[in-house]
């Protein structure tokens, strides 16, 4: 009887337009409230709209603090789309979202997150801590793209800061058992591992290194690249193994 009353009140209130400060929840198959465990279970064509975010999914477990609409964390599955008032767009098979600090974990195939000028993609995991800017992208075809750099690898970890509504990468670590690929406007870089530091303006490449710029291809074991002037050093770790430089002729 209590459950039935809650559902009736829920659907009668859902036809009213949402006001500022309110949370609007709609679903095709009603709502189950677990008061002691403090979460709601929502099924089929679920839509949650608040001042800070909008979420659509087919299965949602919404944890609350004081009442049903004081949502603190959302666990959602199946065709999940999340939009944040800060400009975040997340898509995936599963998304866990903290409404208090906007930490986001996206799992499954075609997991993606767009935040201004940053795009993250993976077939496994995308995780972002929006309080400190830490992020992890893991899985086949893991990808990070900004206005100035494009990165492919199986593991991409780093940190970004938001300055004047622009996200800037501060630190970055990338690895792949086969090959990491880092592209800038003028350079194309390959290795098994890579580090980037904005403070030092340096990209370091480790193992099976290849640096391509214009008509030059340089191959070695380690590279140190200054991102300000794009000057670089490539060396071999083995005295018997030499650094190789290939230069193609231009048609000029």
- Of 9 and 43, the one with more pLDDT: 43
Strand ranges, E, within the chain: 24-26, 31-34, 39-49, 53-64, 71-84, 88-98, 104-107, 111-115, 118-122, 125-129, 134-145, 150-163, 166-183, 187-197, 202-213, 216-226, 232-235, 244-247
pLDDT band at 76 (very low <50, low <70, confident <90, very high): very high
Q: Exposed, middle or buried: residue 83 (CB in 10 Å: 0-12, 13-18, 19+)?
A: middle
> Is the predicted pLDDT of residue 240 greater than 90, yes or no?
no
Tell me, which fold does domain 108-252 have in CATH?
A: lipopolysaccharide transport protein A fold (2.60.450)
pLDDT digits (tens, 9 = 90+) for 135-188: 999 998 899 999 989 999 999 999 999 888 888 899 999 999 999 999 998 899
> Is the predicted pLDDT of residue 191 greater than 90, yes or no?
yes
Name the 3-class secondary structure at 219.
strand
> Is the predicted pLDDT of residue 246 greater than 60, yes or no?
no
pLDDT digits (tens, 9 = 90+) for 93-102: 999 998 888 8
pLDDT digits (tens, 9 = 90+) for 12-65: 444 456 677 677 888 888 888 888 888 889 899 999 898 888 999 999 998 887
Strand partners, 3: none
pLDDT band at 247 (very low <50, low <70, confident <90, very high): low
User: Which helix (H) or strand (E) segment is 227 a member of?
Assistant: none
pLDDT digits (tens, 9 = 90+) for 99-140: 888 899 999 989 999 999 999 999 999 999 988 899 999 998
Q: Exposed, middle or buried: residue 19 (CB in 10 Å: 0-12, 13-18, 19+)?
A: exposed
What pTM, to 2 d.p., does this model score?
0.83
> Is the predicted pLDDT of residue 215 greater than 80, yes or no?
yes
- 8 A C-beta contact, residue 223 and residue 211: yes
Q: How far is CA 135 from CA 43, 181, 235, in A?
A: 30, 19, 31
The residue ranges of every structural domain in the chain are: 108-252
3 φ, ψ (degrees, to nearest 5): -60, -45
If you average pLDDT over every residue of the chain, what do you get?
A: 85
Q: What's the confidence (pLDDT) of residue 137?
A: 97
């Amino acid at each position: 009887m209590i459950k039935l009353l809650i559902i009736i009140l829920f659907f009668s209130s859902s036809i009213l337009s949402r006001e500022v400060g309110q949370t609007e929840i709609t679903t095709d198959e009603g709502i189950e409230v677990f008061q002691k465990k403090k979460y709601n279970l929502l099924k089929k064509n679920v839509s949650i709209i608040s001042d800070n975010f909008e979420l659509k999914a087919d299965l949602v477990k919404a944890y609350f603090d004081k009442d049903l609409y004081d949502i603190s964390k959302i666990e959602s599955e199946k065709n999940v789309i999340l939009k944040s008032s800060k400009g975040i767009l997340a898509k995936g098979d599963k998304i866990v979202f903290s409404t208090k600090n906007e930490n986001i974990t996206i799992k499954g195939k075609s997991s993606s997150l767009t935040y201004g000028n940053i795009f993250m993609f993976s077939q496994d995991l995308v995780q972002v801590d929006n309080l400190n800017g830490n992020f992890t992208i893991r899985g086949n075809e893991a990808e990070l793209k900004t206005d100035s750099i494009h990165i492919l690898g199986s593991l991409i970890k780093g940190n970004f800061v938001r300055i004047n509504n622009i996200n800037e990468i501060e630190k970055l670590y990338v690895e792949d058992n086969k090959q990491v690929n880092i592209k800038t406007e003028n350079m194309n870089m390959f290795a098994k591992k890579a580090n980037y530091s904005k403070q030092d303006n340096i990209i370091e490449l480790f193992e099976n290194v290849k640096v391509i710029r214009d008509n030059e291809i340089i191959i070695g074991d380690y590279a140190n690249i200054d991102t300000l002037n794009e000057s670089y050093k490539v060396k071999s770790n083995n005295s018997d193994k030499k650094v190789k430089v290939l230069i193609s002729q231009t048609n000029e």
